[in-house]
């Protein structure tokens, strides 16, 4: 009987220890989550639910809102920090006549099979219009597994688009965002670390064995987004690729270790009251941040964050003015609960009188 009691006691203690370990593991997992489970509702609802969409780039063409998102699909690829489970294969273009109006899914506008040089992973695109032509800019890994940026053209903002036979010369990494200034000049901002491979480029060369995260130089300036002026035909770079200079209010570059402020991915540019606002995602800390400059090339002085973490790992956005009001298009995982199956949303964005941006909480209490 004593031996039996010892066995029962041992089993109970072991079980409690195992349960405690599981609870600690769960707590660690939960600590990585955003504040989704701390709130009871969402600030806005998905604009469509028939397909999963993410990374929305919104534009106003011919008085109508067009959205150029990624098209998320289910994948059997195991989730990892390189984003291999984001294995998208085509783009659907969405449109609506007004904010919160009926959304039209125009179907497949460009498929990976229509891009001669493409390998896999059609990530976040953007679009532009000039000289009667619409341009769709997209990142995709080439057949050797290196992200490049391509361009496709159409006479219709909803497509279909025809891809150029080769990627843009001098392009690399991900997340192209094209900004056309009031003088008509257009610029492409691009780049992303970790799975976006920005950290593997140095002096125009790609290192396939490079870092999987960032520069790994914690006390040195963080890797920067890139910017290049586009040629008049919008199909190539007009000049060298430059760094997007992000500095603090003392003029010092943001450091690699400053994960709450440094650039990760998802850059966007908008202009407000003559100032240039470079907005971006901090990635592993899940904020949307912004910095303000006087020129398209910067430098841009870090101002703060303007959107708290959404449900899901990534935050990727665009900002658009419509009839005197500003809106932010973004995504979360409300419909699926899975980090690679996201849904696009939109809500109002407000600039304060001093030029700063009001904080947006994607949840309601």
State the catalytic residues. Answer: 55, 265
Positive/negative CA dihedral, 254, 242, 359, 248? positive
Q: Please name which of 319, 257, 260, 247 lies closest in space to residue 286, comparing C-alpha atoms.
A: 260
269 bridge partner residues: 278
d(Cα 262, Cα 194) in Å, to the nearest integer? 13
Q: State the DSSP string of 13-80.
A: HHHHHHHHHHHHHHHHHHHTS-GGGGSSEESS--S--SSEEEEEEEEEETTEEEEEEEEE----SPP-
Give the strand pairing for 133-142 and 147-154.
antiparallel
d(Cα 347, Cα 140) in Å, to the nearest integer? 29
Residue 283: which region, alpha, beta or left (left: phi > 0; alpha: psi -120 to 50)? left
Backbone torsions φ then ψ of 298, nearest 5 degrees = 85, -165
**Farthest-apart Cα atoms in the chain, separation:** 91
- Give the end-to-end CA distance of the chain in Å, rounded to a whole number: 56
Q: State the DSSP string of 284-307.
A: GG--EEEEEESSTT--EEEEEEEE
């Amino acid at each position: 009987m004593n031996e039996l009691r010892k066995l029962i006691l041992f089993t109970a203690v072991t079980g409690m220890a195992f349960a405690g370990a599981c609870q600690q593991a769960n707590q660690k997992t939960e600590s990585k989550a955003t504040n989704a489970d701390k709130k009871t509702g969402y600030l806005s609802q998905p604009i469509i639910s028939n397909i999963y969409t993410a990374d929305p780039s919104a534009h106003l063409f011919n008085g109508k809102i067009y959205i150029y998102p990624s098209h998320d699909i289910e994948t059997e690829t195991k989730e990892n920090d390189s984003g291999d489970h984001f294995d998208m294969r085509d783009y659907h273009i969405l449109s609506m006549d007004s904010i919160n109006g009926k959304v039209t899914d125009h179907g497949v506008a460009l498929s990976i099979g229509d891009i001669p040089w493409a390998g896999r992973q059609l990530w976040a695109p953007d679009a532009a219009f000039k000289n009667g032509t619409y341009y769709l800019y997209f990142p995709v890994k080439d057949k050797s597994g290196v992200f490049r940026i391509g361009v496709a053209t159409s006479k219709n903002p909803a497509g279909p688009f025809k891809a150029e036979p080769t990627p843009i010369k001098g392009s690399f990494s991900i997340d192209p965002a094209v900004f056309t200034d009031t003088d008509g000049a257009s610029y492409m901002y691009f780049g992303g670390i970790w799975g976006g491979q920005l950290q593997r480029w140095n002096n125009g060369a790609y290192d396939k064995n490079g870092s999987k995260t960032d520069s790994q130089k914690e006390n040195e300036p963080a890797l920067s987004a890139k910017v290049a002026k586009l040629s008049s035909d919008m199909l190539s770079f007009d000049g060298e690729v430059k760094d997007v200079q992000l500095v603090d209010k003392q003029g010092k570059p943001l450091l690699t270790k400053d994960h709450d402020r440094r650039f990760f991915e998802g850059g966007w540019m908008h202009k407000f009251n003559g100032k240039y606002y470079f907005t971006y995602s901090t990635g592993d800390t899940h904020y949307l941040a912004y910095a303000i400059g006087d020129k398209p090339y910067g430098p841009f002085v870090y101002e703060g964050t303007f959107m708290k973490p959404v449900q899901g790992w990534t935050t990727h956005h665009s900002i658009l003015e419509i009839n005197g009001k500003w809106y932010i298009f973004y995504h979360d995982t409300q419909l699926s609960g899975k980090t690679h199956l996201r849904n696009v949303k939109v809500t109002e964005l407000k600039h304060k009188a001093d030029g700063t941006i009001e904080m947006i909480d994607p949840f309601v209490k």
